Structure 1
Amino acid sequence: MSARERIRAVADRGYCRRRWIDRALPQPGSPPTERAEAIYVACGLAVFQSDLAAATDLVEEGRILDTGESDPMVHAFVAAADGWAALAGGDLDRARTYLEDAVDTFGKNHALSEWVSALVILGWTYQSSGQTSRARVNYEQALSITESHGESMHRSYALWSMGIVVWLEGDRDRAAHHLEQGLQLVRLSDDPLMPSAILQAMAWVSDDREPRRAAVMMGAADALYLAVDRASILFPNVLVYGEQSERNLRRELGARAFEAAYREGRSLDFEAAIAFALGERSNKRTAAARAPTDLTKREHQVAELVAEGLTNKAIAARLVLSRRTVDGHVAHVLTKLGFTSRAQIAAWVVEQEHASGTTADL
């Protein structure tokens, strides 16, 4: 496998750790274009992991390669890396200058993957400065290119970006449509970074319409981020949206209901989280449809204490029962309700309380 093939293999796993990319970097003395491409990919990963110092060092190395007589692609890769690092550092004017240059050069040289990637990053640069209409133009161009070539990975990034920008412009229905399309595309991917970003955005879009569903998706998104060692969110300026959405959900649902829904989302695996977000039906009854009469009085009591966050040992002490007896009750509750986690029990209890009108806003 060539150095370029190695770097591409690593780049395709966009959530990889920096040390992996460092091992794949071609050594000094390699062809300039190959080295520039590796620097560009490594810079992007450094930005993803909030390592701005490393990104800056890589850009400086790239500038040495970018001579007036070099391959135009060397210049494009270095300009894209420079723009990406500038965006991460908050220098939006510099980011726009270099990214526009990279977009133009990649396009002229028919480097489709790099062209689309640069278009999306340039869109985020405009979006970060409040120019949503110019951002949308970039995303539309990226979507047009990927659709005409049947490409899916970069298309999912563009759909995620487009979903957020049209949401910011007030079109929630269109935003939800773009995000659902993106989630469908990444379904077969083994990269949890993009699905988690899309799930998070779907939570923001639906927080005032379907607050409980939004809280579950927020929990599922965070669980996927944990699966990649808490890789940083793709663009730091979106953090404010998540923080505002969580405040909205806590206010709308109440602390206890929010935490229960969030824990339910955290308990979902990759496929279950995507199925939930896409509203796909399960062969099992939903949690809301499972009647409390499925449980004995004691099992219902144990379920309520599980929802309070008590361990089996603490429940045993509260009810003056043996630990083994409580273990059995919890196992029966899980079996009868068709659940696999305590978080699902907690969410079910809160739903039952909502249904009976007894939920307190804590």
Structure 2
Amino acid sequence: MGRADELAQLRAALLAASAGSGRLVLVSGDAGIGKTRLATAVAEMAAEYDVPVARGYAVDDPGMPPLWPWRRLARDVPSLAGALAADAALGSASARFAMFTDVTDALADAAKAGLVVVLEDLHWADRTSLRLLTHLASELAGTKLLVLGTFRDADGTPLAEYLPDLLRATMTKSIRLAGLSTQDIAHWLRLAAMDVDIAEQLEAKTNGNPLYVRMLVDCGPDLSGHPELRRLVLARVPEEAKELLGAASVLGEEIDLPLLTKVSGVREECVGELLDAAVRAGILRARPSISFVHALVRDALYEQLPPSQRMALHQRAAEALAETGPPGPVANHWRLAGNVEKTVHWARKAAASAIEELAYDEAVEFARLALQFPDARLTLELAKAEYLAGNINASLAHCEQAARLDPDLVAEAALVNTGLGDLTTISTVDRMCAEALRREQPGAIRARLLAQRAIAMVGPGNSPALSRELSAQALALAEASGDPDALMDGLHARHFTLSAPQFLAERREIARRACDLGETPEQPLAALWGHVWLVDAAFQSGDLDGVEREIRQIERFAATRQHALAWWHATRLRATHAALIGDIERGLQLNEATRKIATRIDIHAEGGLYYAYRHQIAILRGVLDKDEAQLMLRILAEVREVLLARICIPMTYALIGDLASARATFEEFRHLPAKLQIAPQWSAALQMIGGAAIMLDDTETADAVYRVFSTLEPDYMTDGGGAVFCAGASPRLVGELALATGRVTEAIDQFRLGIEMNSRIGARPFLALSKLGLAQALLRRGEHTDVPEVRRLAAEAAAEFRRLDMPRPLATADALLREAGSASPLSRRESEVAELIGQALSNKQIAERLVLSERTVESHVRSILSKLGYTTRTEIATWNIRSQ
């Protein structure tokens, strides 16, 4: 009734999906507004086209198992059951991503001839279910799936977090159901052979809500007899079924007959009869399964139960479900029954079960439910669940709280949030590690604590040398303990603290040892890290065959383990490789792909890495769109505590031509080159400071960077800290710094070495930049004999810049060609001879004209040919005309 426009939109969506352009339609509205009726109409519409329909739903029950809507959907799409049976051994958010991909593929396969998926009451859905729907929404294009989701007000529910992403999806359409108009209600009344004059009164009383309207119409037009909905609902409940339906309201909206029989105490032979009566009365619906017609009906029945009866029913439900049901509903029923001890017991079981199913958000909720009173172990279990769910701040706070409640747990608490993180996380973990190390600890635990401390000591205000020493101690202790997880943590810390160009050989050996550990540690990514580190080492040494070999190892790991984090590493490293060899467009595409993977698995650092890559491409090309520059500046301002982020600010200003702002923001970096200690990101910071100094003609700072960089062994400018970008051979940068500081001879030598090194690995952008730098240095030297080489180098560089779309270097090369063209390599007398050759005079005629011997003229001609790189007089004549 009154839904013609909405039905037309849904029919269009169904036809589009059937044609291979999948759709997600989100239908929202108040309780009773007609969302389920509209979904039923879509199902009837699908039947007209022989398109099958699958249904799933969420329920208003905190004990609802994770992914419940999708598991109910599996009844209609059996292939989903296998996809939803995630391998708990994967144990990470990226494993959840793999499961999402399997579910999406299963639905796409099931929809080869078309499929309508109805997901009802998403406002009650768990976070994992909503993450899965968000994943599916991004993959609908090219499928024959029509997904219809219904929900009420999302505020205060998990749906509120995911709704913006769902609505932004390309294939999403949103329909908001409003109440029926007075005209719609009048039409309804006419069809029911009732007085249409009460239509306006009904609309005012119900705000057009179809459920309220229907119940008032069914009960008669006398509104004064029905002042509130609950009373209205209960008036329809058959008296003989009230006790049974009260028990059913405790169990949820869907009715499980065997469970209801156990909980209600009603004889089994009577249950069916009473439920039939409720269906006839419009309190229950029979299809697709027996359930309350609306949540308001169940709520009204639940609220009218006396508290003691309600608690007793919850206790019976908990006892019945404990035999075969999942632990989550059992825990919730014990909570509502008021039994704290059993609530804690079952909530802990439910949290562990949710972790096994990769439903980390639900694990947090159950762990929180278990924490009925201050308890160190329960607090730590909550912290572990929060860490898995990505709630790092909450996890850290609960780790600290657990350590305060029971100091004996401080070591375990310190090792919950492992790995690298932001400065706050690292410093908090470090404080707990320091406290734990004041106590006697087993060797393996002590090694892991020292490894975490070593990582923390790399930060601002600490000693990088001390962090390297501490990481060596941690590794030695781990080796002595024989514990594989301690050894992995020790190798991780050691590799991190040695992330600088000087330690390439040791880092490579650490990476190989990590690879040898393989699957031995319990950590799910242990077999990955060694290969990631070997890629960094191969980039630094210019071994692109090694880069390819190790990336394939990472991809093999990702494919075998279905690990999205491994795919993220493989994709970002392929983006680095693509830029290095000049496939810039592919590099940008891979960077976008990396961002999409990271967004799905909640890698919080990805935003910075994504823009860091784009920033390096902008520096390479020498141009940056002003809108993107403003976006970058806003992002960089949010992470000003990170040195590498801050140095990007003046470089961004320089790229858009705001040199005043660039110089002002660069001021803090001018004193750093001589003061920076060797540590992770040391070489990257120096590279960027040196690059900014060249951009801003800051000779003093360029000189300071040159004095440091010129002492390093030539390499390919990565340091083991994660190869976001590789800028080719380091001698090119040393050459640019030398040229900027007036060291022309040194610059020439460095550029020639840069050409040889970049040519060896096919680093096309950086080979062209090396040729341009050498051309500039040769021209600066001012020797006439260099001019032909300058022209050749500048021309070759310009041609490559055009092919690679590098506008700023191309403009520089073109300007250099013009300058070189106006600079003659010939002496004054040779220029006179060349001019006369251009006039087609013979050597004898030239000798007579210049009063020289013919032999002298021949000597001049040979010299001209040599300087210009020519072999014939015709080429000299052509050059002379062009020069003029």
TM-score normalised to the size of structure 2? Answer: 0.25
- Alignment partner, residue 62 of structure 1: 474
The SS at the match of 1:66 is: helix
**How does 1:1-362 map onto structure 2 within 5 Å?**
1=380, 3-4=411-412, 6-9=414-417, 11=419, 13-16=421-424, 18-25=426-433, 26-27=436-437, 28-47=439-458, 52-68=464-480, 70-88=482-500, 90-109=502-521, 111-153=523-565, 155-187=567-599, 193-205=605-617, 211-213=623-625, 217=628, 220-221=631-632, 223-233=634-644, 235-239=681-685
- Alignment partner, residue 90 of structure 2: none
- Residues 55-111 of structure 1: per-residue CA shift (max 9 Å, x gap): 213213314413445223333332332233223362111111122112221444464
Q: Aligned equivalents of 2:608 and 2:501: distance in 1?
A: 24
The SS at the match of 1:121 is: helix
2:457–2:466: 8 Å Cα contact kept in structure 1? Answer: yes
Q: Aligned equivalents of 1:126 and 1:160: distance in 2?
A: 15
* CA-CA distance at 1:131 after TM superposition: 2.5
- Residues 103-135 of structure 1: per-residue CA shift (max 9 Å, x gap): 221444464323323432332222223223323
- Residues 305-325 of structure 1: per-residue CA shift (max 9 Å, x gap): xxxxxxxxxxxxxxxxxxxxx
Q: Aligned equivalents of 1:52 and 1:77: distance in 2?
A: 18
Give the residue type in structure 2 aligned to 1:31: P
Give the residue type in structure 1 aligned to 2:431: R
1:116–1:142: 8 Å Cα contact kept in structure 2? Answer: yes
Give the residue type in structure 2 aligned to 1:120: V
Q: Aligned equivalents of 1:154 and 1:137: distance in 2?
A: 15
Counterparts in 2 of 1:45 and 1:239: CA distance versus 1, 3 Å: same
Q: Aligned equivalents of 2:463 and 2:425: distance in 1?
A: 12
Q: For structure 2, list consecutive stretches of 5 or more residues without a partner in the other structure.
A: 1-379, 381-408, 645-679, 698-884
Greater RCO, 1 or 2 (C-alpha within 8 Å, sep 6+): 1
- Residues 248-283 of structure 1: per-residue CA shift (max 9 Å, x gap): 9999xxxxxxxxxxxxxxxxxxxxxxxxxxxxxxxx
Q: Aligned equivalents of 2:627 and 2:441: distance in 1?
A: 48
* CA-CA distance at 1:146 after TM superposition: 3.5
Residue correspondences, number: 250
Q: CA RMSD in A?
A: 3.9
Give the residue type in structure 2 aligned to 1:21: V
Q: Aligned equivalents of 2:455 and 2:512: distance in 1?
A: 17
- Alignment partner, residue 348 of structure 2: none
* CA-CA distance at 1:199 after TM superposition: 1.0
Give the residue type in structure 2 aligned to 1:160: R
Give the residue type in structure 2 aligned to 1:92: L
Give the residue type in structure 2 aligned to 1:230: E
Q: Which moved more, 1:167-176 or 1:42-51?
A: 42-51
Give the residue type in structure 1 aligned to 2:598: V
Give % identity: 13
Q: Aligned equivalents of 2:459 and 2:547: distance in 1?
A: 20
* CA-CA distance at 1:183 after TM superposition: 1.4
Q: Aligned equivalents of 1:66 and 1:147: distance in 2?
A: 31
Q: Aligned equivalents of 1:225 and 1:64: distance in 2?
A: 39
The SS at the match of 2:415 is: helix
Counterparts in 2 of 1:145 and 1:210: CA distance versus 1, 3 Å: farther
- Residues 314-351 of structure 1: per-residue CA shift (max 9 Å, x gap): xxxxxxxxxxxxxxxxxxxxxxxxxxxxxxxxxxxxxx
Q: For structure 1, list consecutive stretches of 5 or more residues without a partner in the other structure.
A: 252-362
1:193–1:225: 8 Å Cα contact kept in structure 2? Answer: no
TM-score normalised to the size of structure 1? Answer: 0.55
Q: Aligned equivalents of 1:219 and 1:139: distance in 2?
A: 34
Counterparts in 2 of 1:157 and 1:195: CA distance versus 1, 3 Å: farther
Q: Aligned equivalents of 1:20 and 1:178: distance in 2?
A: 35
Q: Aligned equivalents of 1:242 and 1:148: distance in 2?
A: 38
- Alignment partner, residue 101 of structure 2: none
The SS at the match of 2:641 is: coil
Q: Pick the structure with greater CA Rg.
A: 2
Give the residue type in structure 1 aligned to 2:557: I
Q: Aligned equivalents of 2:629 and 2:530: distance in 1?
A: 28
Counterparts in 2 of 1:243 and 1:68: CA distance versus 1, 3 Å: closer
